[in-house]
Structure 1
Amino acid sequence: MVNRNGMVGKIEDKDVGSKDGSKASSAWAPDPVTGYYRPINHANEIDPVELRNMLLNHRVRSTSSSTSST
């Protein structure tokens, strides 16, 4: 196979790795929970209910009784 520049060779024969000769690693990896591929640098997902519980202030306010014992 000859391309425009006159170079002969197959595309499969060329190294597509980095300049130091090591192979490039994939930026995608399978998610251990779902099995679907997603970016390696993807942040972990937080359950919306857990996030709500963390962010909301759940103080139990004691109500003072309006009736007094006499």
Structure 2
Amino acid sequence: MRRLPLLALALLLGSVSGIAQIPFQNPSFEGDEPQDATVPAGWFPCKEGTTPDILPGVWGVHTEPAEG
């Protein structure tokens, strides 16, 4: 009887695990030369006049990219 809740939880988690996946086009910003105030190919600004921080050093982050 104790296994029934665990089995139900495992089935529930297994059935919804693929729902939250978001596919990205150009996830590593490849193809464009990084420039200030530009949006990489495959991405769009959330609001007019806003761009992603893709250059190294923004906000004090100097971590090497995991991909690209």
**Bin of the TM-score, shorter chain as denominator length:** under 0.3
Q: What's the TM-score, normalizing by structure 1?
A: 0.21
Higher relative CO (Cα under 8 Å, sequence separation at least 6) belongs to: 2
More helix by share: 2
Q: What's the TM-score, normalizing by structure 2?
A: 0.21
More strand by share: 1
